[in-house]
Amino acid sequence: MRAKFRNSSFVMVLVLVMLLSISLPLWAAEIIILHNNDVHSRLESHLPQGAEKEQGGRVRLASLVQEVRAQYGADRVLLLDAGDAIHGTNIDNLFGGLPSIEIMNAMGYNAFTPGNHEFNYGQEVLAQRIKDANFPTLAANVTREDGTLFAGYSALIQEINGIKVGIIGLVPQETPIVTHPKNVEGLIFHEPIGIAKQIAREIRSDVDLLIVLSHLGYSKDVELAKAVSELDVIVGGHSHTELEQAAEVNGVLIVQAHEYANNLGFLRLEVENGKIVKHESKLIPVTADVPKNAKVQAIVDRWNEELQQRLSQVVGKTDLVWDGERASVRVKETNLGNLVADIMRDAVGADIALTNGGGIRASINPGEIRVADIYTVLPFDNTLAVIELRGMDIIEALEHSVRLLPEQNGGFLQVSGITFEVIPDAVVGARVINVKVDGKPISAAGYYTVATNDFLAAGGDGYDILKNGKLIADTGVMLRDVMVDYFVNNPTTPVPAEPRIVIVK
């Protein structure tokens, strides 16, 4: 595959020439780069925990973009998105990211590079979103196995106010382990810095300004700047870094605007003879004082109506009460807890599944099951992850799960693929006995794949022991969406096998 990168035909450059109004003289050519990253489907403003006023969201971001274009002239403004844009909230997740793409079209983006979460919908959906976009999607280091580019373009050249601007798009190489493996089957995520260096050398002489649109994270962007001196600017994402001013590394300006459209990144450059002679950078806060853009709000309202219809969709039917009551899932196994754990394990083919009872917030009653019912059961934005864990660490996690019995505990685990007994009156560390995986005694020194949620995998609810595990996949797919898919494919759900957790009296 390396040889394909050395072949200049690998680099497909899209040249877009914008109509120019009156340009500044070459000795004072000006360009404004507006940028954002890691919006994660925040189309509307949100109220952060502890805040008194809402902030962020594309609906207000669009107004600031409009103001900057009016102030400097639209022909001098380049609008860029550094990825993780179209996945993260219900309004996008239930429609494959199309609402965000429609709004980005309305805002007039010039270029976009996919983040790892863009792949959560699978290749076919993402490929369709790329076609739906009125702006080019750049991913220089993602190819199919035959060497062809997944996104169609690795770089582009645009002429802005008389300045020829080259833009290269880079996607994180670790994407295959932070999304579901089936979403990236047949794709190769190449080491990005070498790819950037090659393309930079090939197009540097054709442009006055060379930008990388990166979803690699700030630390990787610093490495990139040190390694590729041909670059002028790196517009970053992935690490959710809030850079109030551009960082300068090896003569390269690095910018990043935090997350959720909380800020609009602003970088004003003066370019002379292919060199930046002056720059000004800042973050413009997207506060509640920024008016909502009427055009974007109308799009959001229309999709919210679609969302309500989608939430009312019937995905199954049951004659049972599926027990998700707080007093149940926090002290014992329940049929609903078992079902959720089974669905998680089945979705990724893991040996076992562990999920905290505190993440299950409601029961499902007899009758039709709607999408909204499942979202009520699993209201948190927890995503499905897979880790590899030693048997002894799994046993310790089970001990942590039952340590407060008979008191309610949000960290009490609902499980799948594993059975054990609990002696509540035994000494701490010896309460869990007779642990079996797939009916066989667990091997303390053996390794097992564990489906869990990102909250627990990160040590939530005191599960520091789970951080010992090796991350196999962080799918980025929310548990509630995994459960919706299950019900769509299994309208009549069998009762999960029990018992799994036996409390010894």
pLDDT in tens, 374-391: 998 998 888 999 999 999
Q: Are 215 and 173 in contact (CB under 8 A)?
A: no
List the single range of 105-119, 236-250, 404-418, 486-500 with lowest mean pLDDT.
486-500
37-73 confidence digits (pLDDT tens): 999 999 999 988 788 899 999 999 999 999 999 999 9
Position 191 pLDDT exceeds 80: yes
Rounded to a whole number of angstroms, the distance between the first and last alpha carbons of the chain is: 62
Report d(CA 192, CA 114) in Å as an integer: 13
* Confidence at residue 18, expressed as pLDDT on a 0 to 100 scale: 37
Coil vs helix vs strand at 188? strand
* Confidence at residue 25, expressed as pLDDT on a 0 to 100 scale: 41
Residue 211, φ and ψ in degrees, nearest 5: -120, 140
DSSP run (H or E) holding 196: helix 192-203
* Confidence at residue 1, expressed as pLDDT on a 0 to 100 scale: 29
pTM above 0.85, yes or no: no
Better pLDDT: 167 or 273 = 167
Report d(CA 285, CA 291) in Å as an integer: 12
CA distances from 417 to 173, 272, 343, 346, 439 (A): 32, 65, 11, 10, 8
325-366 confidence digits (pLDDT tens): 989 999 999 999 999 999 999 999 999 999 999 999 889 999
Spell 399-424 as b/e; 16+ CB within 10 A means b: bbbbbebeeebebbbbbbbbbbebbe
